[in-house]
Structure 1
Amino acid sequence: MYTFRKQTVAVIGATGQVGTPLTKNLLLLGHDVLVLTRSLNSEKISEFQALGARMVEVKDMMDVDLMATTLAGVETLICAVPGSKYIVTQAEPLWLDAAVKAGVKRFVPTEFGAHTRGLELGDGVIFDHKKALHQKIFESGLSWTFFYTGGIFDYFLPNLRFFRKITTFGDLDIPIYTHHINDIGAVAAMALTDDRTVNRCVQLDFNVLSQNEMLEQIEANFPDYDFEYEHFSSEFITEARNTAGDEVTAKKGAETDRERWGINYVIYVIGKLASFTDETLGTAELYPEYQVSMTPEQALADPDFVFEK
């Protein structure tokens, strides 16, 4: 059972996809939240201020001494920025150094996706970078929590808002853990300030469906719609992960093609979107009374979710 203990929490990336609901829920829980931003000119910044956040404009977040001064008095530092190679290999090690200098107690790196700790070196290039960062965190002496969301509905449930066809990948029977972004933010806010999760991984695990189960539901919900399909086989994904280049070609993409196919390999070929290692706590066990705001079944029955407006 979650026991609230007010803390001072700093968030980098508060205006991002995960950072926005995470920061709002930290504030709604009653924590003293420090939002580190390069610019105070944002509608979301105004929303955070209205909820009681303290905003700090940091022009150079790669300045370790400046960041250390900014983080003075902070108990937990959460990095909620997208986990690009630059962020993981260059920015976060500096933020970790700053956290050590400032006396921060808990460091939360930008995981918020597939369960890196359940993977082997070589499974995916971006995860290898994250594993190297993990070692730096362990050597720093700071406490840590790694929060693994699994998938976000928008990208993992079949829909026509990002692709012209219903697109599937790899093994269609692999269990896919996926959640609404609002639930990701709400549960992360609890888990990352929960004393039980210090030096543990946390796996979001309220919802799970295979791709085949998702397809059955969307077809049953919209029987009169003539869906077109595109499937990338496990063999294709495995080959692409080794041969793709460093271009960014995916619609709404942030990762290079090589990184993206490595992620697809981890999720749809070896089935490691979620993992339950000895150091992992599941959110269904941590927060048994939590009710998700939307289930995958509800999303797949909603035409506004399935079809592009």
Structure 2
Amino acid sequence: MSSTVLVAGATGDLGCRIVRELLGLDARVRVLTRPGSSAADDLFGGDERVEVVAAAYSDHAALTAALAGADVVVSAVSGTRPVIVDAQRALLRAAVAAGVPRFVPSDYSADYRRISLGSNRNFELRRELAAEVDAAPVRATSVLNGMFAELLLDEAPMILFGRRRVLFWSSADQVLDFTTKDDVARATALTALDDDAPRVVEIAGSSISARDLAQTLSELTGTPFRLQWAGTTRTLSAMAAVGRRLSRGPEETFPAWQGMQYFVSMFSGEAQLRHVDNDRFGPHHWTTVRDVLAAHLA
């Protein structure tokens, strides 16, 4: 009998991809949505393989009932403290109350476990939740994948295409990990269906340096891309701190200063993946950064 996987955050970019991969593996999928939202019905309502259930994260009884009978809960929610900590804490407690044996939190990031205190808000929220997950009577697995490779094309301004430059901080030879969203979704779906999955699964489509990236772009374009030193990680961290203090209004999930913090974590080496196991789920063509850049440039 196939496993029943409940997916929270299924209407988001990564969540949709995870649902697609689960269906391709013949899993029974249950999608959690907030009461009053039609997004899940619009996306999955016509698919008999997907069950849509509604429950507010603040309603423990309804949330527990929605999770009852599931074999694993996969979270793909995205946000700041109200989502990453508060909503997932409620989801975790409901999973325990419903007797769900396994839980996959919404990590999908570089390795947040060794970062310095105060250096990365989003990573520290994940580390805070991880402490509660570890203490709960549930078997948990986090998927760590470095940075989404697609972010190199726009939201993570490391590549200056027009100026033919690749920015780096401190060292151009620091190894950085990148994985496409589709590959992360595949690994997450396979992890969800693997009862023997460890506490952490590390994957990376590419583990390359800024120097490698510049060389790759030079080869793809036939035009030299040069490295450009942008300062030290300490300077970048200080700039991020100033940006955060000057920001006003509710905190965004990925403001400019959070992007700076992410590069601090990566270029300092603190968030580098140390135990990548791409072969865990068998042979697979991983989409590399070179593949992503070639498609973009084409």
What TM bracket, shorter-length normalisation?
0.7 to 0.9
Q: Please, which of 3, 14, 22 is the counterpart of residue 26 of structure 1?
A: 22
Whether 2:268 is the aligned partner of 1:269: answer yes
User: What whole-Å deviation, never above 9, does each CA across 1:196-241 have from its counterpart, x for those lacking one?
Assistant: 214x101013422212111111122223599997845424312124
Paired position in structure 2 for 1:36:
32
Structure 1 residue runs of 5 or longer lacking an equivalent are: 277-281
Aligned with 2:279: secondary structure? helix
Whether 2:169 is the aligned partner of 1:165: answer no
Paired position in structure 2 for 1:50:
47
Mark the CA change 1:126 to 1:30 in structure 2 (over 3 Å): closer, same or farther.
same
C-alpha deviation, 1:129, in angstroms: 2.3
Mark the CA change 1:306 to 1:227 in structure 2 (over 3 Å): closer, same or farther.
farther
C-alpha deviation, 1:264, in angstroms: 2.0
Aligned with 2:125: secondary structure? helix
Mark the CA change 1:41 to 1:110 in structure 2 (over 3 Å): closer, same or farther.
closer
Structure 2 residue runs of 5 or longer lacking an equivalent are: none
C-alpha deviation, 1:299, in angstroms: 2.3
Aligned with 2:204: secondary structure? coil
Paired position in structure 2 for 1:189:
189
**Corresponding letter in the other structure for 1:32:** R
Paired position in structure 2 for 1:279:
none
Q: Is residue 175–residue 209 contact of structure 1 (8 Å, CA) maintained in 2?
A: yes
C-alpha deviation, 1:260, in angstroms: 3.3
Paired position in structure 2 for 1:66:
62
Paired position in structure 1 for 2:220:
221
User: What whole-Å deviation, never above 9, does each CA across 1:285-309 have from its counterpart, x for those lacking one?
Assistant: 31341222x322222223xx148xx
User: What whole-Å deviation, never above 9, does each CA across 1:140-163 have from its counterpart, x for those lacking one?
Assistant: 21110011121212113xx46875
Provide TM-score, normalisation by structure 2.
Answer: 0.84
Paired position in structure 2 for 1:100:
96
Percent identity reads 20
* Bigger shift: residues 254-263 or 168-177: 254-263
Mark the CA change 1:223 to 1:232 in structure 2 (over 3 Å): closer, same or farther.
farther
Residues 1-150 of structure 1 aligned to structure 2 (within 5 Å): 6-38=2-34, 39-41=37-39, 45-46=43-44, 49-50=46-47, 52-58=49-55, 60-150=56-146
**Corresponding letter in the other structure for 1:243:** V
Tell me the distance in 1 between the aligned counterparts of 2:116 and 2:225.
41
Supply the RMSD in Å over aligned alpha carbons: 2.9
C-alpha deviation, 1:55, in angstroms: 1.3
Q: Is residue 120–residue 258 contact of structure 2 (8 Å, CA) maintained in 1?
A: yes
Mark the CA change 1:226 to 1:188 in structure 2 (over 3 Å): closer, same or farther.
closer
**Corresponding letter in the other structure for 2:53:** V
Mark the CA change 1:209 to 1:172 in structure 2 (over 3 Å): closer, same or farther.
same
Report how many aligned residue pairs link the two structures: 287
